[in-house]
Amino acid sequence: MSDQKPVELKTGDEAPTFVLPSDRGEDVDLQSFRGKKNVVLYFYPKDSTPGCTTEACNFRDAVFEFNKVDTVVLGVSRDSVASHQRFVEKQGLNFPLLSDADGKVCEAYGVYRLKKNYGREYMGILRSTFIIGKDGRIKHAIYGVKVKGHADGVLFAVQEI
């Protein structure tokens, strides 16, 4: 992980491409959605923690609404595929979770940052969501997400593109 200031993606930027392993035992290539589907790509700190569980379950509950507007939901953290599999099974998640074990995708999206919690500083994932259009460009970049109401807000934003 680099010591440089993180990138900050914005509307209109080309979404950094990647291929990552999923909880489903297959690699997910962002390019495979180009021209076919919008993508909600959300980054979260850790499987099975309270905020991350709430966020994942909110996306789970809205996934059929996202499907109606040609949109797939993909969750990304640095947890292992095995951890994702346990999380998906326990919460009944209906969308892929991707493992960015080496953090390269987190860095490309500018979400791996210095965080402060109870006076302690550490590097970690800043909860963030990117709406990527069928053209492969960022339609919305939301850094520092608050979980409450987030999935509904993202669904509304997707319906507007």
Q: Which residues carry out catalysis? A: 52
Six-digit token string for 133: 């259009």
Q: Count CB-CB contacts under 10 A for residue 149.
A: 10
CA distances from 138 to 3, 50, 101, 130, 135 (A): 25, 28, 23, 7, 9
Residue located via tokens 């080309």: 14
First to last CA, the chain: 34
